[in-house]
Structure 1
């Protein structure tokens, strides 16, 4: 895989995004706005002295979930447009390798994901005074990894959709079950055993586990390292699987 080809694809996608203010707003602004809604939900709660705010726990997990959802939507729809417009077909007639093309897309959206994570995390800490034991850098890293995971799944799912509406229909299949079973609503070890087993193979569960480790410890832990490795491994594996869907439709 040639880095020059990958960077060329990345630069092209970033130029396209630059001319699409709605996508930029979706990526950079929407997660921070949704986080604000979560903050206002718990703004008036009354707690005994010494107890942590509910927002510190829920808002922290949302820093991993919102980027995942947003990047899945943006990537799946953008990639579908590339397929239906014929752009992807034309690119596949050039000497560029499928892996170079796909990882170029992933890199472009990962750069946007990093900006998204910085904006959302900065909003949580400075505007809403998020208080946890761990370092904010780990929160940003996990947010970026979950966003990249959303990018990878979006690239994969776009291959099975013929319209933008169909791309959105993958949300209930791919995204919502992960949100329900990641430990946001019920601790994973307190779920039905079958649901716990399903949760154990869903990557978003490990992202939430990692965020909870950051919340509870001042420094990195083996459990945090494991969570980061699992999420990153899932993202790479899904990207490689998505590369298999990049096929020319014409000889």
Structure 2
């Protein structure tokens, strides 16, 4: 015969303890998309600025304008700084449009300061601007420039926090930390979703600035091959 199981005591409704839910981030109405939406804001800024800067500089080069500039006594760093300042103005305007549209129109969750959100996206726009101008030096046509998107830009989104980097293999975690969007994704989620302050994102911002400065220096070196005299 099968052994008889001990009958569990029945609790009265008033004896059942109530479970209190405490949300560290978000609330009971928070969805999974609310956690991902801030990442997409920075990614779209990164993507659009990269396209505009890369294609614009490429047209300058294919039309011969860049070669004529390089042939003058103007220093290469002055040319790079000039392009970055010129197209940087459009990048700032585009960044502000994307941020305010995402927050005011799409009503994406924002717990922290909107000024920190703008700061993060302006820094990632600077990185995209310098990266776009750098890669345009190695493209001979707009089609080749577009080929950099699936190679360089699209993989960034997978390392920005949509897929938890901590669950990836060690070699993928190393690659993730070489991607600018990894740091931008962490910073934007900390501000928009977690409501953290500047002291929690300053490390990511400095690293992103380091990326931008490195791309800018590499761009100055890349222009050397266009100097004919």
Q: Please indicate the TM-score interval, normalised by the length of the shorter structure.
A: 0.7 to 0.9
Q: Distance in 1 between matches of 2:204 and 2:196?
A: 16
Aligned to 1:245, which of 217, 222, 228?
A: 222
Alignment-derived partner of residue 148 in structure 1: 126
Aligned to 1:171, which of 149, 162, 169?
A: 149
Residue 68 of structure 1, CA deviation: 0.8
Gaps of 5+ in 1: 1-48
Aligned to 2:40, which of 51, 62, 69?
A: 62
CA contact (8 A) 1:142 1:228 kept: yes
Q: Distance in 2 between matches of 1:179 and 1:55?
A: 15
CA contact (8 A) 2:190 2:196 kept: no
CA contact (8 A) 2:39 2:188 kept: yes
Aligned to 1:229, which of 206, 210, 213?
A: 206
Aligned to 1:206, which of 183, 201, 211?
A: 183
**Does structure 1 residue 116 correspond to structure 2 residue 82?**
no
TM-score (norm 1): 0.75
Task: Report 1:12-23 matches (<5 A).
Answer: none
> How many pairs align?
201
Q: Distance in 1 between matches of 2:186 and 2:71?
A: 43
**Does structure 1 residue 219 correspond to structure 2 residue 201?**
no
Two-structure CA RMSD over aligned residues (Å): 1.6
Q: Distance in 1 between matches of 2:135 and 2:48?
A: 14
**Does structure 1 residue 137 correspond to structure 2 residue 115?**
yes
Task: Report 1:2-41 matches (<5 A).
Answer: none
CA contact (8 A) 2:55 2:136 kept: yes
Q: Distance in 1 between matches of 2:219 and 2:97?
A: 28
CA contact (8 A) 1:109 1:148 kept: no
Aligned to 2:59, which of 69, 81, 91?
A: 81
CA contact (8 A) 1:213 1:221 kept: no
Residue 65 of structure 1, CA deviation: 0.3
Residue 136 of structure 1, CA deviation: 0.8
Q: Distance in 1 between matches of 2:34 and 2:145?
A: 33
- Structure having greater relative contact order (Cα 8 Å, sep ≥ 6): 2
Alignment-derived partner of residue 9 in structure 2: none
TM-score (norm 2): 0.82
Task: Name segments (4+ residues, structure 1) moved above 4 Å.
Answer: none
Q: Distance in 2 between matches of 1:177 and 1:218?
A: 27
SS in 2 for 1:236: helix
CA contact (8 A) 2:176 2:182 kept: yes
Residue 155 of structure 1, CA deviation: 0.8
Identify if the C-alpha distance between structure 1 residues 137 and 174 changes in structure 2 by more than 3 Å, giving closer, same or farther. Answer: same
Residue 55 of structure 1, CA deviation: 4.0
